[in-house]
Structure 1
Amino acid sequence: MQMQMQIPLTRDLVLIGGGHAHALVLRKWGMRPLPGVRLTVINPGPTAPYSGMLPGHIAGHYQQNDLEIDLVKLARFAGARIIDGRAVALDPVSKTVTVQDHGVIEYDVASLDIGITSELPQLRGFSDHAIGAKPLDDYAEHWRGFLSTAKTNGEAGPVTVIGGGVAGVELAMAMAFALHQAIGKAEVTVIEARDQLTGIGEDTRQRLMAALKENGVTLWTGAEIAEITKDGPRLKSGEVIPSALTIGAAGALPQPWLQNTGLPLTDGFVTVGPTLQVDGHTDLFAVGDCAHMRHAPRPKAGVYAVRAAPVLHDNLRAVLTGQSLRPYHPQKDYLKLISLGGQSALAEKYRRPWSGPWLWRWKNRIDRKFMLKFQDLPAMETPTLPPVAALGVAEELGNGQPICAGCGSKVGPGALSDAISTLPKIQRDDVLTAAGDDAATLRIGGVQQVLTTDHLRAFTEDPALMARITAIHALGDIWAMGAAPQAVLTNVILPRMNATLQRRTLHEILHAAGEVFRDAGAEIVGGHSTLGSELTIGFTLTGLTETPILQSGGHPGDVLILTRPLGSGTVLAAEMQGRADGRDVMNMLGIMGRSQACAAEILHEAHAMTDVTGFGLAGHLQAICKASGTGAVIMVDDLLFYDGAQNLAEAGIRSSLYDANLAHAPLIGAQGAKGALLHDPQTAGGLLAAVAADRADGILNKLHEASVPAVRIGHLTKGAPDIICR
């Protein structure tokens, strides 16, 4: 019998930044991954904007998602972990990258594609009263807010763009066009310190001057700015140009933190040679606008990053496998396609211009074709059944959907309860556990100690984020019992990897989990680790309480409060299939990783409480009803759901535990997507508390003051443990 070998991980490849070149590398990597390499991408945000479509988005021709590369989907396709954070330091000697609000990431081979900034820190008042056109996503978000306010008010203050290069005039015309479309008028000014528009030939300059005039954009040349005030830029001549929104587009500036890396820099940009390796560092590459190619200096333009991507991909693989590298020879010039506000464009190459609507259509086709590379990723092959298999295998596999991770991979509630019911009755008088409660209760002297354990199959490739969410998830049982967390044992299963990666991974896990537990008042005291087929993280916890909150304490009339949205199982299932929006995924993971200690403290007076996890809201509420001898009513329209969850549920996305949950806890009156999400398995889900009716409003006010997204979702009723949805 032939056995399939599990390839151990031996090298960490880290892509710092989600620029065009790195996005293309991720796509190529997903089509042909290199066994033994753990791939990581670090980016501040779940998406990366495509610069070629930004002016069209500013003008209103494209929606936000038209120009955003979904790095979460792309990372899933490439088998990479994505870390949502901004790199703020790099040490090429220790081979570490520091990520803001995340910590240190070690690498064996790394690549920089972090772009540039248009911030002008040397210009007094800029940081307080202006915003750079780059990073693109920050500017685009700021502009969307400005335009939305203009539409609401029916008017907008004047807009000023600093810089008369191609980028500045292109964005000025785009903003003018959008304001004319929104409110029928616009006041946009371009300020250029030189005596003419820059970066183009004379014929192109004349055509751009005419386009600016046609869009109603005022151009100031030979105008040097002394400072940016709250009223607008003040020129050295003393005149203040009124501005409610000031955009910096006066050139490409390197990211400031590169100055502290010790890397070779040219005017602040990372110096690289023909193979795109940083000078003096064979294990570090740099591409795109953040790099200076000493062998072939070129202007800062996205076309060079796109053309460099195949060479970068091949050279990264070459370094990781000990093969020879190949050089990158950039083209001498490139076709500039400049948007003119409306759906018209101007082109220039070798100083020769062309213009007209047909160029816009051509540019639009080029841009959409590029984005289609990331929006229409090749489908992953579905494993096929062997020609002969035991009865029931096909039925168990169903539609071939892979088993979910997190709480979606738990054993079904029916099978679990049946197995537990066969256990002998507890004989010890110091074990006070009631059937079905979230944690065991032990009497130790005059103190009651609660004890629980939980573990999760990883649903993210980021071990630190997975550890944080698992810690929050495991603490839920302690908090639900009204106990104060005390001590923690860890249980970690790592996928097969060498000793170096074991050390790195365990450090990330213990650091992230330790931070969560210390904030909750608990300490990690030990644990166990082993190697297996996939990352699994678990914790065993104790907590202390004078009087535990039991599931059996509910009374008819009690108000039901839930502290978190529903739908994590559905969103995670969709993410595994490449069908979830990356922004929705990252937003949800951020909520899942927040502590619920404050919410637990506010809910200490609850009559009954549990945390909503694998068996869904319906299953966990049913447990309270059965233990308390009550029924329940759920006001479905009052529930909160994670962004994207309802649409995904409407599209038929279900967690692999959904069917078992549905069979175990049927609801009366549940309909549609919202009804389905009542059975959705939650990971690090909210606390579900039954509180006295006359105390509910006060408790909710305290929760909201503490920024807990808690809602009143229904109440307990007399009678059978039925759950009615209204």
Structure 2
Amino acid sequence: MDRYPFTRDLVLIGGGHSHALVLRKWGMDPLAGVRVSVINPGPTAAYSGMLPGFVAGHYTRDDLDIDLVKLARFAGARFINGAVTGIDRTARTVTVPGRPPIGYDVLAIDVGITSEMPALDGFAAHGIPAKPLGAFAQAWEDYRARATAPQIAVIGGGVAGAELALAMAHALRDRSPKLHLIDRSRALAALGDKARHKMLAALAGYGVDIIENADVTQVLPQGVLLKDGRLIQSDFTTGAAGAKPHDWIAGTGLDLQDGFITVNAQLQTSDPMVFAVGDCAHMAASPRPKAGVYAVRQAPVLFDNLRAVLSGGQMRDYSAQRDYLKLISLGRKSALAEKFGTIWQGPLLWRLKDRIDRKFMMRLDDLPAMPAPVMPKTAALGLREALGDKPMCGGCGAKVGRAALQQVLGDAFGDDAGQVQMGQVITTDHLRALVADPVLMTQIAAIHALGDIWAMGATPQAATAQIILPRMDAALQQRSMAEIMASVTATMSKAGARIVGGHSALGDELTIGFTITGLVDRPITLAGARPGDALILTKPIGSGTIMAADMAGQAHGGDVIACLDLMVQSQAAASAILRQAHAMTDVTGFGLLGHLRGICDASATGAVLDWAQVPLMAGAAALAAKGVRSTLFADNQAGAGMIGGAVPDLAYDPQTAGGLLAAVAAKSADDLLRALTEAGYQAAIIGQITQAPEITLR
């Protein structure tokens, strides 16, 4: 896709079923010239069809969750981890708190619904809405793990509430749960008599107390207060009553029906550049109830119509089916099916439902592998080896190896930054993009470059920016530069530095770098470590492995987001805490052992590293055990030299915007570690400096 200049921005708000399928189709058949962004509050979206099975204990959280980070990577889209709070249709921008406005040419909305009850006193503080599904799933997982004498109240006696109550009763059946299903009128009124009778029988079989014609007036920490004065004891109160649109939709200026976005047969809203699908949309031409089956079947039409409006083609209509097969879980592995008034029940229907749901999830998880570079028939000797068997990593994974630099630079190779004059240091650094989001990439590159200043115990002073944008038209250049410069200014200002200039250009891919000066009274260098010093590391390692796995579609989205969050963590406070360190560096491209080797070589010492104490990023160890490595791994292994003991692969893993590695007096190590922990760092004492020149792992 990136071979062609970008000329249009497509932004997908929400990770609902339609958008997940659109991302998969986009990865298979992208539209040249379109830059895609997907915005969602969290790396995953829960699949509604499997929620009752998850609640009942038949599925794990991994079974339930759609990995949007993985899908976005497959589609070549930038994933923005945040919650939308508004749309400016005049400026064509989307607002996500904490970042610059996101520009769009075409927009699609698939954010589902919520079952929050803002008008119900106490619900916001003590209740848990059944939708959005992801937050509910996490709350249930936590409750199920700790509940000993469960007391549960489900407000809303429709099919969704009854299905949840059955699932909860089954999951907690060995703990004698007390469950109450509360409805303001008649429970399961939307079902026909036969289906209702069977559902009521299933609820009775699990001992669920059905309270009908009851108005809830208040939700309290200890339960639910009814209008007639009864207090229903509950330590887990959830709301599954009705469907409520997200509040920010009311401010979009789009035509709405009962708060839901009105769409035509082409899934367009009253603004032809804005589409909406799934439960957040109201199909004016053929109104239907809120059900995931419609969102799934809208996906191919949405995909075609987005491509059409972006390329000047013809759109097509979406035709909603009149009825669909409703499969309702009954707690245990049994299900009730209904269509056109005909009812079936039994374990075979559960197996049918399970097969349908797993097939859907498999489509979103089993993504084609990235193709290897195509070799010409005739090529120079060594080309195949130089290409390797996978794409080159971004960030520090794209650096030149330590051994090669040391051989070429000789004595000039060493400290993170250099002294310009007494009291002033300077550094320069740039990164090849490892994520498609220019705002996040700017933050990562800035923190990475600032690390050299912080590693010398200096305070950042001034910075110039060097920015290479992928080829794009003038409008997208302006959008991208506005996002980047807002991010640069915010990050550098927070660090105490000001932007004094820079340079920009267009190229094959996004590359961001900085030259930064800093002020310091006593520069902390690589030299100065003393035998007996304790080694402190201020951030977990593993980013190279995680991002390499992300490129290959092998990493969990949650682990990727957690990794990126660590990358953008400032080391300013850590640098101040470690200001009296004898030697210090930031752990970046050469990996933990490569940078430790730098301290030992400069200080004429050795080190003993206690690998069990080295903090690791979530998911990194499992990926390393599968053989996932950054493309810089072999160079880092060579650059670290001879190491004693069994060396895990992660010890050579290149880090982008990594933590500080400091050699400190042993007597002050515990106090420094305590200060770092209180400042919010996942820091650890990981070894000590030795007299002997070798580095050994134990």
Both proteins in one fold, TM over 0.5: yes
Q: Which runs of 5+ in 2 are unaligned?
A: none
Q: What do the CA deviations read for 1:639-669 (whole angstroms, capped 9, x no partner)?
A: 1111111111111111111101101213434
1:232 is matched with which residue: 223, 230, 233?
223
For the aligned residue pairs, the C-alpha RMSD in angstroms reads 1.3
Q: 2:656 corresponds to which letter in structure 1?
A: T
Conserved 8 A contact 2:158-2:187: no
Q: Distance in 1 between matches of 2:642 and 2:253?
A: 63
Q: Distance in 2 between matches of 1:666 and 1:654?
A: 18
3-state SS in 1 of match to 2:415: coil
Q: 2:25 corresponds to which letter in structure 1?
A: K
Q: What do the CA deviations read for 1:599-646 (whole angstroms, capped 9, x no partner)?
A: 111000101000000001111111111111100000011111111111
Conserved 8 A contact 2:592-2:653: yes
Conserved 8 A contact 1:618-1:667: no
Q: Which residue of 2 aligns with 1:485?
A: 460
Q: Distance in 2 between matches of 1:586 and 1:566?
A: 14
Conserved 8 A contact 1:553-1:607: yes
Q: Which residue of 1 aligns with 2:375?
A: 385
Conserved 8 A contact 1:201-1:352: no
Q: Which residue of 2 aligns with 1:133?
A: 130
2:246 is matched with which residue: 255, 258, 272?
255
The Cα shift of 1:215 comes to 1.4
Question: 5 Å matches for 1:339-378?
Answer: 339-378=329-368
The Cα shift of 1:670 comes to 4.3
Q: Distance in 1 between matches of 2:252 and 2:97?
A: 16
Q: Which residue of 2 aligns with 1:723?
A: 695
Q: What do the CA deviations read for 1:328-369 (whole angstroms, capped 9, x no partner)?
A: 110111111000000000011122221001100000000001
2:395 is matched with which residue: 406, 413, 423?
406
Conserved 8 A contact 2:529-2:583: yes
Q: Which residue of 1 aligns with 2:429?
A: 454
Q: Distance in 2 between matches of 1:219 and 1:681?
A: 58
The Cα shift of 1:395 comes to 2.3
3-state SS in 1 of match to 2:249: helix
Q: Distance in 1 between matches of 2:436 and 2:413?
A: 35
2:664 is matched with which residue: 668, 678, 691?
691
Q: Does 1:123 align with 2:120?
A: yes
3-state SS in 2 of match to 1:246: strand
Q: Which residue of 2 aligns with 1:114?
A: 111
Structure 1 residues 670, 310: closer, same or farther in 2, change over 3 A?
A: farther
Q: Which runs of 5+ in 1 are unaligned?
A: 424-433
The Cα shift of 1:384 comes to 2.2
Q: Distance in 2 between matches of 1:354 and 1:717?
A: 74
Conserved 8 A contact 2:157-2:186: no
**Structure 1 range deviating more: 356-365 or 98-107:** 98-107
Q: Distance in 2 between matches of 1:402 and 1:640?
A: 28
Q: Distance in 2 between matches of 1:681 and 1:639?
A: 15
The Cα shift of 1:413 comes to 1.1
Q: Does 1:6 align with 2:3?
A: yes
The Cα shift of 1:676 comes to 1.0
Q: Does 1:707 align with 2:698?
A: no
State how many pairs are aligned: 698
Conserved 8 A contact 2:150-2:176: no
Q: Distance in 1 between matches of 2:67 and 2:601?
A: 44
Conserved 8 A contact 2:370-2:552: no
Q: Does 1:310 align with 2:300?
A: yes
Question: 5 Å matches for 1:331-346?
Answer: 331-346=321-336
Q: Distance in 2 between matches of 1:131 and 1:78?
A: 34
Q: What do the CA deviations read for 1:19-42 (whole angstroms, capped 9, x no partner)?
A: 000001001111100000000100
Q: Percent same amino acid among aligned pairs?
A: 56
Conserved 8 A contact 1:344-1:358: yes
3-state SS in 2 of match to 1:339: strand
Q: What do the CA deviations read for 1:36-81 (whole angstroms, capped 9, x no partner)?
A: 0000100011111110000000000001111211111111111111
**Structure 1 range deviating more: 384-393 or 677-686:** 384-393
Conserved 8 A contact 1:667-1:724: no
Question: 5 Å matches for 1:185-200?
Answer: 185-200=176-191
Q: 1:286 corresponds to which letter in structure 2?
A: A
3-state SS in 2 of match to 1:660: helix
Question: 5 Å matches for 1:502-581?
Answer: 502-581=477-556
Q: Distance in 2 between matches of 1:51 and 1:440?
A: 56
The Cα shift of 1:380 comes to 2.8
2:212 is matched with which residue: 211, 215, 221?
221
Conserved 8 A contact 1:670-1:676: no
Q: Distance in 2 between matches of 1:435 and 1:77?
A: 38
Question: 5 Å matches for 1:418-457?
Answer: 418-421=407-410, 435-443=413-421, 447-457=422-432
Q: Which residue of 2 aligns with 1:430?
A: none
* Structure-2-length-normalised TM-score: 0.99
Q: Distance in 2 between matches of 1:693 and 1:441?
A: 28
3-state SS in 2 of match to 1:241: strand
3-state SS in 2 of match to 1:234: strand
Q: 1:609 corresponds to which letter in structure 2?
A: M
Q: 1:231 corresponds to which letter in structure 2?
A: Q
